[in-house]
Amino acid sequence: MLKAMKYRIYPNKRQIQRIEKHFGSTRFVYNYFLEYRQKEYAKGNKKVGYIVTQAELTKLKKLDEYVWLNECGSQSLQMALRDLDSAYGRFFKKQGGYPKFKSKKHKTQSFTAPQNIKVANNRVYFPKFVKDGIKVKLHREIPKEAILKQATISRQNNQYFISILIDDNISIPKPTKAKDAVGLDMGITDLVITSDGKKYENKKYFVKSQNILKKLQRRLSKKRKGSNNRQKAKLKVQRLHTKVSNQRKDYLHKISNEITNQYDIIVLETLNIRGMIKNRRLAKSIADVAWSEFMRQLEYKAQWRGKTVLKIDQWFPSSQICSSCGASTGKKPLNIRKFDCLHCGKKDIDRDINASINIKNYGLGQVDNRNTVGTIGS
């Protein structure tokens, strides 16, 4: 199985300068050849792909104007071209938007070293950083038999990280015989509601930090542009955002670990988060719960453990159907938190638990029809 393991690194001043050069160079190559491909497409040349841009990059590095590109790892520059080619591929397959130019002002900067990665003596070594290596905090041990495939070095709010892609030499487990299944309904009042009746609290990390964030941003706005004090104030704002993000991810990891360890089949809603976040009244709350990150964690952890994640149709009316008799009762406003069924007489059912049971039943119905997962037993 391929796994990515992310660690904090602590480069010295000289290494920081070299890392920043890599950020700038790979960003330049990406933007330069994005413009190059746009011009070629405008001319009617539709056959401009990775091979063509790689040849043009070799010519570009020989020009006196761009000789500084040779200070960075050549393979890292080529990876920028592969990233661009992948972005175009997703666009043509309608899996993403049109590629955008990268900005040096973005809070996250990164580059990739595709091979020759080594970790030893609490240091990580990769091309252009082979002599001394960079100090790394290994909070998780890399398996001895693992093959180090590539490394992505990034800066997030003045902190540096390395994400190492490893092949652990363990085959992806086959789906286990399913004994336990669960349906998950995701909300804002409660983050996750299971069909077993368990509710995971929405911690609202961003909302809780808003007052402190307002004070820090107010102080930042009063600092003179370009001054050291403004840079210090900006760093405090960035650190608070990083803290909130880390708190949220840590909480989601705990929930996703618990669910993927406990259940063999996990049934989820398919949410149009991009569309939902356009609601200005709920946008902040939806962004704070991070549904996309939670679903991403569930999917890759389920794969690691031989579990199955099913996503049901986003138009399935889970909140309108009675989980006892299956009758549809129509739409209800969000302020109504209890479900009453006029057909079978069930009353005061928790609205979210009722929806999660419907999600589970609908997902298991799909499994039975497609016969894609092991038999569900007691």
Q: Which residues belong to the active site?
A: 185, 269, 352
Output the CA torsion sign for 186, 188, 192, 196: negative
Question: Which element (helix H / strand E) includes 10?
Answer: strand 2-10
Rounded to a whole number of angstroms, the CA Rg of the chain reads 25
Helices (H) and strands (E) in the chain, counts: 9, 14
Rounded to the nearest 10 degrees, the angle between the axes of helix 50-62 and helix 13-42 is: 120
Cβ contact 41:116 at 8 Å: no
Residue 185's nearest CA partner among 301, 312, 327 is 312
d(CA 233, CA 212): 13
d(CA 115, CA 71): 18
3-class state of residue 310 by DSSP: strand
Q: Is 64 exposed, middle or buried (0-12, 13-18, 19+ CB in 10 A)?
A: exposed
What would the two tokens of residue 46 be? Answer: 């539709």
d(CA 163, CA 4): 6
d(CA 29, CA 49): 14
Give the HSE-up count for residue 298: Cα atoms under 13 Å, Cβ half-sphere.
Answer: 24
